[in-house]
Amino acid sequence: MALARMHLTLPVGALVHLRLPRVTPAGTVATPGPDLTDLVVGAGFANADDDRDRPARDRPDRDRPDRDRPDRDRPDRDDARARIATHPMTVELTVRRTWSLADRVGPGMRLLVCGLNPSPYAADHGIAFGRPGNRFWPALLAAGLARVDRDPDAALTGHGIGFTDLVKRTTRTAAELDATEYRAGAERLERLVGWLEPGVVCFLGLSGYRAAIDRRAVAGVLPGGFAGRPAVLLGNPSGLNAHLTPTQLAADLAAAAALAGPVPARSPAVHLPTVPDSA
């Protein structure tokens, strides 16, 4: 949550040096958690060290006159790994704020809602399904699963409703995504669900789920669940989807949440604070 809140305060492309503690507030060794890259990507950031491995046209500094400066002026990954190894209590890295939508997730989630990928409106406003005319939030309120409209933090902390996406990259249309992104996104989501163990995983959008995970999937409860948790597949809540009414979506969301049953308790170690050194 600390990274997600930081994401909202920074402009796209901003660099931040993070120091992530490896221990719980009580001082004991933290239980195994998510891959560090998963945390960074889910919060809407990218490892800045990876920029030099990306095609020049995709680099955020491609227009800078010093973009071809020698590698000696850039952080060395082997040196960074050595520093981490010699400082087992913390992990340090520099990240870049991407045009994305930060996950709103945490322990004890009743329902983890997963969209395909952020729209420009969602990324710019920091609200999943937040565009006026989208049926998701009116349906969530009508189902009694939230009390505050278009407030993902209140939904998470007050009602156990979390938010993520199969692919974190923002696009204007789903056609801009490719199979590699779908595969990587599904793998990240599996690790996220395995770590936080939400009561139910709720996918919104049949075409997106079919493209990313199972092309034969149909709406409803997913046989076998997802990553060891119960899962459901619902229609796209966009106002352009005339086949899904707000009343039907509210009923579907309520039924999905009812599948949760007892939500596994999670250690407070998953809430390790993040400390920005500079931005």
Provide the percentage of residues in the chain whose pLDDT is more than 90. Answer: 62
Average pLDDT in the chain: 81
Domains of the chain: 2-99+268-278 (no CATH), 111-258 (3.40.470.10)
Q: What pLDDT shows up at residue 32?
A: 53
Residue 161 to residue 159: CA distance in whole angstroms: 6
Give per-residue pLDDT as tens, 22-54: 644 443 444 456 778 898 999 999 988 766 545
Residue 215 to residue 208: CA distance in whole angstroms: 9
In degrees rounded to 5, what are phi and psi of residue 24? -75, 165
pTM, full prediction: 0.80
Chain-centroid distance of CA 64 in Å reads 30
Q: Are 130 and 121 in contact (CB under 8 A)?
A: yes
Q: What's the longest Cα–Cα distance across the chain?
A: 59
CB-count exposure of residue 223 (10 Å: 0-12, 13-18, 19+): exposed
Least confident window among 42-46, 54-58, 169-173: 54-58
Q: Are 121 and 128 in contact (CB under 8 A)?
A: no
pLDDT level of residue 265 (50, 70, 90 thresholds):
low
**Which residue has tokens 């490719």?**
178
**Does residue 236 have a pLDDT over 60?**
yes
Give per-residue pLDDT as tens, 96-151: 999 999 999 999 999 999 999 999 999 999 999 999 999 999 999 999 999 999 99
pLDDT level of residue 79 (50, 70, 90 thresholds):
very low
191: three-class secondary structure by DSSP: helix
pLDDT level of residue 93 (50, 70, 90 thresholds):
confident
Q: Are 152 and 104 in contact (CB under 8 A)?
A: yes
Q: Are 156 and 105 in contact (CB under 8 A)?
A: yes
CA atoms within 13 A on the CB side of 59: 16
Give per-residue pLDDT as tens, 3-26: 888 999 999 999 999 887 664 444
- List Cβ neighbours of 166 (8 Å cut-off, separation of 6 or more): 114, 115, 116, 117, 182, 185, 186, 189, 203, 208, 209, 212, 213
101: three-class secondary structure by DSSP: coil
| E-state strands within 41-157 | 45-47, 90-97, 111-115
